[in-house]
Amino acid sequence: MITRVRLLAVGVCAVTAVAGCAHRTVRGPDTTVIVTVTRPAASPSTSPVASAQSLTASTSSSVAAAPMRALPGSCESLLPLGSVVDALGHPVTGDTAFVVGLPDSDTGRISYLNCRYGVTKRSTGIEIGVSLYRTSAKAAARIAPTVADYTAHGATSSPVTVAGMPATMLAGGQGAGYGPTVVLSSGQRTVAVTVAGGGAAEIVRLAQLATDRTSAS
């Protein structure tokens, strides 16, 4: 915006300077020269405004197209226990376990984080899984198999919204590891949050926390 204003200001000043010569008296007795100035039409290819807009669009496109090469941190740095407690709104007791996963060429996964909180002998507690894939398409493709796996274990699925994006709530699954879960894809990432005995609202809050904290920005 600053560049655009300055360019326009220069153009106006230049025209004004020339227009100021329209009734200028040339030195010498009784000699007057009248100059008529016609302002040329701006060429679309050289318009300062068009150039600035083109540069802005090109820059924005380059930034938007930059792919993620890695997740921006670990469970400890991105999703510390304190942030999970704040999102839940209540204390979490039990053990904490953090795992950093390796790439998987079969699915196109670059890496993943598995963050567990409140783990006890009787409960799996809270599990937040964030996976990064080579492309957004490969990330999106992982949601359907997850939903199918849960529904095969008795879960029902329903649409929810996480951070303004569509997600799926899976509830009522039978067996270890099939507790109430929210899954979604966000760009190159998938996010899955499971809370043993948890309610939909708090699971969605944790999913939003994980989505926000693991973004590239």
Mind listing the domains of the chain with CATH numbers? 2-65 (no CATH), 75-213 (3.40.1000.70)
**Per-residue pLDDT tens for 159-182?**
999 999 999 999 999 988 899 999
Residue 197 Rama label (left phi>0; alpha psi -120 to 50; beta): left
The pLDDT > 70 percentage for the chain reads 70
Backbone angles phi, psi at 111, to 5 degrees: -165, 170
pLDDT at 216: 85
Residue of 190, 193, 191, 172 whose CA lies nearest to 181: 193
- Determine the Cα–Cα distance for residues 189 and 135; give it in Å rounded to an integer: 9
Whether 14 shows a pLDDT value over 50: the answer reads no
Beta strands in 2-94 (DSSP E): none
Residue of 10, 13, 11, 2 whose CA lies nearest to 52: 2
Q: Rounded to two decimals, what is the model's pTM?
A: 0.70
Pick 77 or 57 by higher pLDDT. 77
Pick 1 or 123 by higher pLDDT. 123
**Per-residue pLDDT tens for 16-36?**
333 343 333 333 343 333 433
